[in-house]
Amino acid sequence: MAKMGSINGLREKSYDIAKLREIGIIFPLFLFGLIIALRNPYFISWENLRYIFLDASILTIVAIGEMMVILTGGIDLSVGSNLALTGMTVSMIYRDFHNFPVILAPLIGILIGGVCGAINGLFVAKGKVIPIIATLSTMYIFRGIVYIISGGRWVNAHEMPEGYKLLTRVEILGIPILVIYALIVFLFFYYLLNYKAIGRSIYAVGNNPQSAIYIGINKVKVLFLVYLISGILAGLSGVLYTSRFASAESSAAIGFELSAISAVVIGGVKTTGGSGKIGGVVLGALLLTMIVNGLNVMKISPFYKLALQGLMFLIAVIVDSLIAERYYKGRRRRV
């Protein structure tokens, strides 16, 4: 007779697979690392590794914001444009007002990015516009504004105050501050997602929006919040990005939203929402950055970059569905 506790045997297995998904990123991480290093040992030089971590830091910050949105079953295509818009605006402010305190730059970035995110949030949460349509529109609108306000001109390195450039060039105890920024963002959102009711609400809305309402979760508020967070982190990244590359250009970070989404998906977050871990997203961002860097190091044409990124995205999705299928097959046998 079917007993209520009959899943005892299965339980272990389901945990294994849940863990496996995160570990499953570490494996290709080392495999690719090894392959690239064998072809060019420079790849594992301290200088290059540092470079990878710096690159991965900005991607991680944006991807964490993107993850929040994808957890609710949505998508934010506007993060790249948001990043460019914020970066351009803040750079122009510091170009024109050299004496503006540099410490305020990240805050201004958060503010502008937050406004952009809030616009998405209003469309999706209040206006009930499908996320892909809402953020596709704002992706073009934000990018358009970048061209309008900059008149197509760059803000060049020599126009930026030294302090602004230092924002991402300082090291604390030998650790680049950019990595520390990413670490802080990671820890903050790790805590939020796993230990705060609002974080669990994000998962709940992604799992079953109707039930979320039944148990008293304010779905509109949660949806608004995730787009706001995504905007804030993209905005913050805009400042870090322009500071790091010491220039702001109108076409900066085009396609960056795809990198962010790839990192999230490779990191094991379900595109349908409700499932995924923030640690996986960090690893996903790292893997993606490493491979792009590896292509450069191996002197493979950058033209391959986009196609390869798409391929990785596809592999991640296929691997996920294969794991799910095998898992359920195994389950049926046992029952």
Partner 1 sequence: MILGGVFIIMEDYILEVRNIYKSFTGAKPVLEGVNFNLKKGEIHALLGENGAGKSTLIKIISGVLQPDHGDILLKGKKVYFGNPMDAQKHGIAAVFQELALFPELSVAENIFIGHYKYRTLFRSIDWKDLYKEANSFLNSLGIEIDPKALVKDLSIAERQIVEIARVLSINPEILIMDEPTSSLTLEETQRLFNIVRSLKEKGTSIIFISHRLEEVFAIADRVTVLRDGQYIGTKNVAETSVDELIQMMVGRKLEDMYPKVETKKGELLLKVDGLTRNGEFYDVSFELFEGEVLGIAGLVGSGRTEVAQTIFGIRSKDKGKIYIRGEEVNIKNPKDAISLGIVYVPEDRHQHGLLLPMDIVCNTTLPILESLANRGIIDRKEEEILTKKYFELLDIRASGIRQKVMSLSGGNQQKVVLAKWLATKPKILILDEPTRGIDVGAKVAIYQLINKLAQEGYGIILISSEMPEIIGMSDRIIIMHEGRIVGTISRREATQEKILSMALGRKVYTKS
* Residue ranges in contact with partner 1 by CB under 8 A: 1-8, 10-11, 14-15, 18, 191, 194-197, 200-201, 203-204, 206-208, 210-217, 270, 274-275, 331, 333, 335
Tokens of 217: 């979760």
Q: Residue 189 Cβ, how far from partner 1 at the closest point, in Å? A: 14
Nearest-approach distance from CB 302 to partner 1, in angstroms: 38
Pick 214 or 303: Cβ nearer partner 1: 214
Nearer to partner 1 by Cβ, of 87 and 267: the residue is 267
Q: Between 275 and 296, whose beta carbon lies closer to partner 1?
A: 275
Q: How far apart are CA 84 and CA 256, in angstroms?
A: 10
Closest to partner 1 by CB, 3 vs 299, is 3
Collect all residues with Cβ–Cβ distance below 8 Å to 273 and sequence separation of at least 6.
Answer: 70, 71, 72, 73, 74, 205, 206, 207
Nearer to partner 1, 40 or 271 (CB): 271
Compute the least distance from the CB of residue 1 to partner 1, in Å: 6
Whichever of 137 and 218 has its CB closer to partner 1, that residue is 218
Q: How far is the CB of 331 from partner 1 (least distance, A)?
A: 7
Least distance in Å: CB of 184 to partner 1? 17
**SS3 sequence of the chain:** CCCCCCCHHHHHHHHHHHHHHHHHHHHHHHHHHHHHHHHCHHHHCHHHHHHHHHHHHHHHHHHHHHHHHHHCCCCCCCHHHHHHHHHHHHHHHHHHCCCCCHHHHHHHHHHHHHHHHHHHHHHHHHCCCCHHHHHHHHHHHHHHHHHHHHCCCCECHHHCCHHHHHCCCCEECCEEHHHHHHHHHHHHHHHHHHHCHHHHHHHHHHHCHHHHHHCCCCHHHHHHHHHHHHHHHHHHHHHHHHHHHCCECCCCCCCHHHHHHHHHHHCCCCCCCCCCCHHHHHHHHHHHHHHHHHHHHCCCCCHHHHHHHHHHHHHHHHHHHHHHHHHHHHHHHHC
Nearest residue (CB) to partner 1, 51 versus 190: 190
| Rounded least distance, CB 278 to partner 1, Å | 15
Comparing CB distances to partner 1, the nearer of 173 and 215 is 215
Shortest distance, CB of residue 335 to partner 1, whole angstroms? Answer: 8
CB of 12 to partner 1, least distance (A): 10
> Taking Cα atoms as reference points, which of 54, 77, 62, 227 lies closest to residue 139?
77
